[in-house]
Structure 1
Amino acid sequence: MARLYTSTVVDVPVLIHRAKKAGPTVLLTGGIHGDEINGVEVVRQMIAKKVVKPKIGMIIAMPVVNIFGFLDMKREFPDGRDLNRVFPGTKNGSLASRFAYQMTHSILPHVDVVMDFHTGGAQRFNAPHLRVDPMDIESTALAEVFHPPFLMHSKNLSRTFRDTCSKAGKRYLLFEGGKSQETDKKIISSAVHGALRVLHHLKMLVDTKPLIKETAAPILIKESKWIRAKYSGLLHPKTQCGQHVNKADVIATITDPYGTMRHKVKAPHSGYIINVNQTPLVYQGDAIFHLSKHEDKEPAASSL
């Protein structure tokens, strides 16, 4: 795509495995944000397990999409832009925009299904979940096959990879779990086995031994709310990500460094904690918890 300042060429590896028999083409992507290591590890494990060699169709794997950010452990491209906010890109724009353009025009036309693996931002730990637009019926149905612990309704944001895939008529699954610059075995396992269930559903797996049984039905989250800090100070979370809390439960405390102030953060309503801010220090107004509202035990009926 480009050279470093030292004139060293930077290549973005794209692994392609095609079966002899025709079938769907699945794209696996990790590291669209360079510091989101969980997604890189998910795709890496699927390559290492050799499940990316399909019985039918084709699997395209890109473990590290944003190789520039990965080298520096940064979310953005070297031009300071968020790759996931410049799609579908332009041929002669910024570096990030040119990269998005190449993905949109060189890879996406060959693809039927996209599974894109992300994490929370800096110090924000996400419970493992898929985000789907409820208006995208085909992707929602495939999300149920993935069978994540949480299934969250979320509209597509303009200029994201998800929005570009949707407009191109591709089925797209956005996985979120864990936080940036860290790996989490449970999060990675949830993502890997969800992806395996999708590949099994598409009849692409040569060997189904790696599959694990589905657990309880995904919890469908149709609405959620961010809880923000009312005071600046030291944050002490009292709940874990993915935990259910009741209205008025104390989910954290905020203290000053001097032992004179201690504020209890209470849940404004019952719901599941789907994101926890794990930073030790917060300013007034910082988002500290993401709490579900009106969640359902089972997702809407699938059209599959």
Structure 2
Amino acid sequence: MSEDSKNTITILGEEIPLGASREINFNIAKLHTATKIEIPIIIERSKIPGPTILFSAGIHGDEINGVDIVRQLIARRINMPKRGTIICMPILNIFGFLSSKRAFPDGRDLNRVFPGSSNGSLASRVAHRLMHEIIPEVDLIIDFHTGGASRFNAAQIRIVRNHPELDELARIFGAPFVLYSNHISKSFRNACFQLGKPILLYEGGKSFYVDNNISKVGVEGVKRILAHYDMLHHRIKASPPKMPTVFIEESKWIRAKQSGMFKSAVNVNDKVEIDDVLGQITDPYGKIYHEVKSSIEGYVINVNEASLVYQGDALFHVTKQVS
């Protein structure tokens, strides 16, 4: 990662010198009542030059566990760098967050419209400003997500293959798992990568829910990254991860073979063998009892916590090969 040695950076048209603290409102639109909708951006710059790191969350309005992680970085003053610059954007999709919905009011998924357009949809315009007025000043992005619906993700970093710098950063972050995942067209991760900006995508937990362990793994990972770049303030300590990170080469979804009432028998992070019972599917009348068994050996990195499932629903995400 290259280091920004500029004395002044420009975010949304505002010049910010070394040693400055700023809270800039990203004004994206107004409600029908003419009330402004703004995204607060918290910027902390040391007097000593160094890298600029962006911590972002809430690109989907229902993924609040990532919002909690970035909130903790600010509340615990982890975002006060020893050197360099830290930018925190706790909620990228403020509309979805306020309405408890994943998408924007126009129905678009913000994470599928990058790099956006200055004349496009509301979501596209937000993406365009983010990519043109914030990301150019950034050297590294860590973007926080959760699992969707009732699917609970184990804490994991997602990166693309064959990029040693990302492998090293993921190992330093120290989440239990690293999942090699191709970029999705028009996603924030893909748009940043196309600009040559290294990005780690952190997945953990599920939508509409804050899990303390998922938050802790995220916060501790951030501290390790900051310590790696000598940006972590001396009053804050970074601890090593409890176990080595498992790099996942392949994984497989195990799906429901029939509909019914579902109970999981395993948790995320569990190691399973072939033919281990992962859960049960039953019916309300006591006539059906179906055991869901693992067809592969590996770690469970996602569990569907829904009580009712349909045939074909994804129940468990299990690693297929690990390194």
Please indicate the TM-score interval, normalised by the length of the shorter structure: over 0.9
Query: What letter is aligned with 1:38?
Result: N
Aligned counterpart in structure 2 of residue 161 of structure 1, from 177, 188, 193: 188
Equivalent residue for 2:151, pick from 117, 124, 130: 124
Q: Distance in 2 between matches of 1:161 and 1:207?
A: 32
Give the equivalent residue in structure 2 for 1:266. 293
Residue 102 of structure 2 is aligned to residue 90 of structure 1: no
CA offset digits 1:238-259 (Å, max 9, x no partner): 1011101110011011111111
Distance 2:140 2:229 in 1: 10
Alignment of 1:179-258 (within 5 A): 179-207=206-234, 209-258=236-285
Out of 105, 111, 118, the position equivalent to 2:138 is 111
Letter in 2 for 1:124: R
1:11 aligns to what SS in structure 2?
strand
Is the CA contact 2:175–2:241 (under 8 Å) kept in the aligned structure 1?
Answer: no
In the TM superposition, what are the counterparts of 1:49-64 in structure 2 within 5 Å?
A: 49-64=76-91
Residue 208 of structure 1: how far off its partner (Å) = 5.3
CA RMSD, aligned part only?
0.9
Output the CA distance in 2 between the equivalents of 1:138 and 1:211: 21
Q: Percent identity?
A: 50
In 1, the alpha carbon distance for the partners of 2:222 and 2:234 equals 14
In the alignment, structure 1 residue 45 sits paired with structure 2 residue 83: no
SS in structure 1 of the partner of residue 49 of structure 2: strand
Distance 1:169 1:180 in 2: 30
Deviations 1:270-301 (A, max 9, x none): 111100010111111111110101112xxxxx
User: C-alpha deviations, 1:153-188, integer Å up to 9, x for none?
Assistant: 111111111101111111111000000101001010
Whole-Å separation in 2 of the counterparts to 1:266 and 1:75: 32
2:158, 2:235 → 1: CA distance?
26
4+ aligned runs moved over 6 Å, structure 1:
none
TM-score by length of 2: 0.90
Q: 1:215 is paired with a residue of what secondary structure?
A: coil
Q: Please report how far the alpha carbon of residue 21 of structure 1 lies from its aligned counterpart in structure 2 after TM superposition.
A: 1.4
Q: Give the whole-Å Cα distance in 2 for the aligned partners of 1:137 and 1:84.
A: 25
Question: 1:211 offset after TM fit, Å?
Answer: 1.7
TM-score by length of 1: 0.96
The answer to whether the Cα contact below 8 Å between 1:200 and 1:208 also exists between their aligned partners in 2 is: no
Partner of 1:299: none
The corresponding residue for 1:279 is: 306
1:14 aligned residue: 41
Residue aligning to 1:101: 128
2-side partners of 1:206 and 1:118: how far apart?
Answer: 26
Partner letter of residue 241 of structure 1?
V
Stretches of structure 2 lacking an aligned partner (at least 5 in a row)? 1-27
Alignment partners' CA distance in 2, 1:87 and 1:170 = 14
Partners in 1 of 2:289 and 2:296 — Cα distance? 22
On the 8 A contact 2:30/2:36 being kept in 1, the answer is yes
